[in-house]
Structure 1
Amino acid sequence: MKNSQLYKGSLTTIILKLLNENDKMYGYEITQKVKEITKGELKLTEGALYPSLHKLEAEGLLDVEVLKVDNRLRKYYKLTEQGTKETVNKLAELEDYIKTMRALVNPKFRMG
Structure 2
Amino acid sequence: MKNSQLYKGSLTTIIMKLLEENGRMYGYEITQKVKSITKGELNITEGALYPALHKLEGEGLLDVEVEKVGNRLRKYYKLTEDGQKETVNRLEELEEFIKNMQTLVNPKINLDLQF
TM range (shorter): over 0.9
SS of residue in 2 equivalent to 1:100: helix
Provide TM-score, normalisation by structure 2. Answer: 0.95
CA distance in 2, matches of 1:77, 1:60: 12
Q: Match of 1:109?
A: 110
Q: What is the CA distance between 1:71 and its match in structure 2?
A: 1.8
**How many residues are treated as equivalent by the alignment?**
112
Q: Match of 2:25?
A: 25
Q: Match of 2:48?
A: 48
Q: Write the deviation string for residues 25-53 of structure 1: whole angstroms up to 9, x where unpaired.
A: 00000000000000000000000000000
Question: What is the root-mean-square deviation in Å for CA atoms of aligned residues?
Answer: 1.0
The percentage of aligned residue pairs carrying the same residue is 77
Provide TM-score, normalisation by structure 1. Answer: 0.97
CA distance in 2, matches of 1:42, 1:81: 28
Does 2:92 match 1:98? no
Gaps of 5+ in 2: none
Q: What is the CA distance between 1:67 and its match in structure 2?
A: 0.2
Q: What is the CA distance between 1:109 and its match in structure 2?
A: 1.5
Gaps of 5+ in 1: none
